[in-house]
Amino acid sequence: MSILTKALIVIAALGLAACNNPDRNGAAPGDGSPLNGTGINASGLGDPNDPNSVAYFNQTIGDRVLFAVDTSTLTPEGRAVLQGQAQWLASHPTYAAIIEGHADEQGTREYNLALGARRASAAQDFLISQGVAANRLRTVSYGKERPLAVCSDEGCYAQNRRAVTVLQAGAGV
């Protein structure tokens, strides 16, 4: 086995591990988050202009929907994003997804966990209503544990109240 082949296998394995780790918080590729293994993700994401790539799903379609304060109701913009996600998932049956629900820091820890679960579930229900098989989707809530933006005002809070669809290589979750 050549060194190059070995290296490719290692990279592929790392990419898979990253895809299967739900503790990714929907962070954008290459955002430098220390938990996120910058570079490892990028190798598996592909080109955002390639409609078959994970990067296309994450960036061009959009992997996340946002929510108003203390609500789990999908906005019209959110529904449009999720419709795009459902179409992509329909044409890429070898992917499953974990939907991560998040809350901003204005709330107690337990309540925010439950609120994040409501948000993830709202996104999941909508994807199922758009024809995605239920066994390809799973939810997890991080409550307020994994903010994307760390300032303490509405500019950051609005980004943190989110449900992020994280693609998983493999047909089911």
Residues of the shown chain interacting with another protein in the complex, contacts defined by CB under 8 A: 21-23, 25, 27, 33-36, 72, 105-111, 113-115, 117-118, 120-122, 124-125, 138-142, 145-152
Rounded to the nearest 5 degrees, what angle is found at the Cα of 104, between the Cα atoms of 116 and 146? 75
- The SS3 of residue 127 is helix
Shortest CA distance to 130 belongs to which of 119, 122, 138, 140? Answer: 122
**Residue with Cβ nearer another protein (35 or 68):** 35
**Residue with Cβ nearer another protein (10 or 149):** 149
* CB 167 within 8 Å of CB 54: yes
Q: How far is the CB of 112 from another protein (least distance, A)?
A: 10
For residue 149, CA distances in Å to 48, 65, 129, 140, 156 come to 23, 15, 31, 19, 5
* C-alpha span between 78 and 124 (Å, rounded): 12
Residue 67 forms beta bridges with which residues?
none
Q: How far is the CB of 140 from another protein (least distance, A)?
A: 5
* C-alpha span between 122 and 164 (Å, rounded): 11
**Residue with Cβ nearer another protein (81 or 163):** 163
**Residue with Cβ nearer another protein (44 or 56):** 44
**Residue with Cβ nearer another protein (34 or 76):** 34
Q: How far is the CB of 50 from another protein (least distance, A)?
A: 28
